[in-house]
Structure formats: C-alpha cells, structure tokens
Amino acid sequence: MTVRLLSLNQQLQSQQIRRILLIEDNDVNRMLLSDYLSYCGYNVQSLSNGSTLFLTIEKFQPDLILLDLKLPDIDGYLLLEQIQQKPDFTRIPVIVVSAFAFKADQERAISLGACRYFVKPVNLNDLILTIEEELASYQ
C-alpha cells in the first residue's frame, strides 16, 4: 500500500498543482487530511466553518471542494444548495466527507449537487483516486 501511495504521489507531482478547498470543523481531521493532501501534491486551503466559504472560493479558486456536512455555524446541506445557486461555482466538484452514514444522507447530498460521498473514517487511497477522477472529468 505504501508503494502504491508513493507511486501515486509521484504521478500527482508531475501534473500541475491542483487546488483543494477543505471544509472540516474537527481540528485533528482537518489538519491530518490537509497535510496528507499537501503531501500528495495538492495546494490545500482549509476552513473550520462554512461562514467564509464563498469569499474563500472567490479568492482561492479551488479545483475541487471537500465538504463535511456537520459544521458549527451552517448546515453542509445548505452550503451545497447555495453552491448550486451560483453559476460560477457549479463547475467545482464537491466531494462530501461526513460521519453521516445513512443512505438518506448520501442521497440528499448527491441530489443537492455533491458528486461523491465518503463516510468517515475515509480510506485515503480511495479518496485520492476519487479526487483524481473528478479533477480529470472537470478539466
């Protein structure tokens, strides 16, 4: 597995650096995921809440968003709805990474515009592969 991750890391570094916006309220999860994505060659901006999401999108111009649904200041579902209401932002793929494990939660997130849904704890290799698939399809 380590060899596969190192190989994947080398492949990612040979491409242009892609920007990922991570919205995760848990400090440890945010730090670990941000560090891992950076190690894999991504430029990562992270937020602990959703209140500055749209300002950050405008400034950082992410290629992809990783979104937790349970945030302290705003419901992640509401953020998905708001993203879909802004034509400039609908091109950005949103992958939900949430502890909400019920099928209804997943279906709701997908219906509101999320392209993929991961339940925590996340298999990092699967997440990176999915990120690459989504980035390749939105180029």
How many Cα atoms are found within 13 Å in the side-chain-facing hemisphere of 135? Answer: 19
pLDDT at 13 over 90: no
Contact 42, 18 (CB under 8 A): yes
pTM, rounded to two decimals: 0.88
Q: Any idea where the domains of the chain sit in the sequence? A: 2-137
Superfamily of domain 2-137: Response regulator (3.40.50.2300)
Does residue 93 have a cis bond before it (omega within 30 degrees)?
A: no
Tell me the C-alpha distance between 37 and 64, whole Å. Answer: 12
Please write the tens of the pLDDT for every residue from 52-99.
999 999 999 999 999 999 999 999 999 999 999 999 899 999 999 999
pLDDT in tens, 94-131: 999 999 999 999 999 999 999 999 999 999 999 999 99
Q: In what order do the strands lie in the sheet with 19-23?
A: 43-47, 19-23, 64-67, 94-98, 116-119
3 confidence band (pLDDT: 50, 70, 90): very low
